[in-house]
Structures are given as C-alpha cells and as structure tokens.
Chains A and B, each alone.
Chain A
C-alpha cells in the first residue's frame, strides 16, 4: 500500500525555537495533504489543508503565522511550528490523498511527538 513518511518521529526543543516536520508520500503523488494534531486521550483535530503550489487552508482557531505550511512539491509538505511554547507540545500527524490511483483512501504518516520545554 501507499506509504507516507513523516520525520522526525520525536523532537524535544526549547521554548522559543522553531521546529520543522516533514511529510513525504513515498510512492505516490499527493496534490492535497492534511495536518492534524492530537493531544493525549483525544481524537485527531484537523489543523490545515495543504495544497501543492498554493496557500494552505487553516481550520478555525489555528494560527497560520504560528503553524507555517509549505507544499512545494507533489510529494512533500512541511509544517513549521514557529516560536514553539509548551502548549504546542502535541502529537502531529500528516496525511495525504493520492492524486491518482487509490484516491478512496487517506494515508497517514506515523506522527511526530513534539515536546517543548
């Protein structure tokens, strides 16, 4: 099946630093990717929709200047958490819709656990 690679799997950083998370579709092209965050014992919350070659669409309540999304190619989307603070500590998950082929399924990365000290 299609594989979505997400890196890093875990990151610990100091408050005030920026962290970049990469999401790659390894064996398919994805015009659209999504970014979710998940707090312990809670469901996934959609943060934004990332479209290749255009600006991301953010869900209500998500700061676009805080969570920078870049989707520069059909296989790569990045999420940068700028000036991270302890309240940004969470599990971040990306997903991708294949542009062609198995378009009925949304494939997920393995997630990134961000801990801000």
Chain B
C-alpha cells in the first residue's frame, strides 16, 4: 500500500486559499487519491477524489501532476469551520483497505 506524507500542521486566516500537498511516491497504477476531513470526535468525511489532472467539486479542488507522485488539496476561501484534520489516502477502489497517514491539522484563525 502506498504511503503518504503530509505536513503535520498548517495555519491560515479566514478568507484565504489553503493548499495542502501530499506525497505518495509509490502510488500504484490502479490507485486513486482521496482526501477526507475529520473534526474532533467524529468520523472522517469525504471531500474529494481523483486519479489524474484536476478535479473540482463544490468544496475543494484536487490537483494531481502527470507523475501522480503527489497531490494538492485546495480549499478556496477557508472559514473558521474548516479547522480540522485533513487526510490524504491512496488506494484502489475495488473494496481495498485504506491506510491513514498522519494527516494535516489545519487551523483557521479569524
């Protein structure tokens, strides 16, 4: 299973764009990249998933370079409620298990 590396923590201010980069050097051909958000004492919540290039939904964008060895989660105009831990996971989508890395603790300040 591909291992992921993310910054342990990041600070931002309300209204700013936040970019969190994840490294996954040994990603396999069949692996997708998925990002989750977790608030204290809650289960992780799906944010976005992609395979290559760029994916955008109503809450975030995911940028994946051609070599797929890294990915960047972009949160536009963050608010205080975006303060959470963000996890980057890499794995196949055929019911395979996903291993969580350390995650990035994002703190948004007023």
Contact = CB atoms under 8 A, between A and B. Distances in A.
Interface size, B (range):
20 to 34
A50 B85 CA distance: 26
Contacts of B63: none
A78 interface: no
A104 B101 CA distance: 19
Contacts of B100: 36, 43-46
Given A6-B43, A111-B41, A111-B42, A103 B103 contact: no
**Chain A contact residues: helix, strand, loop or mixed:** strand
A80 to B, nearest CB: 19
A46 B43 CA distance: 13
B42 A110 contact: yes
Closest 8 CB pairs of A and B: A108-B43, A44-B100, A32-B95, A104-B93, A97-B95, A43-B100, A111-B43, A108-B44
12 contacts: A1-B46, A4-B43, A34-B97, A36-B100, A44-B100, A93-B43, A104-B32, A108-B43, A108-B44, A108-B45, A109-B43, A113-B41
Interface of B: 32, 34, 36, 41-46, 49, 87, 93-95, 97-103
Given A46-B98, A104-B93, 19 more contacts: A34-B97, A34-B98, A43-B87, A43-B102, A44-B44, A44-B100, A45-B100, A46-B99, A46-B100, A49-B97, A93-B43, A95-B43, A95-B44, A97-B95, A103-B93, A106-B34, A108-B36, A108-B43, A111-B43
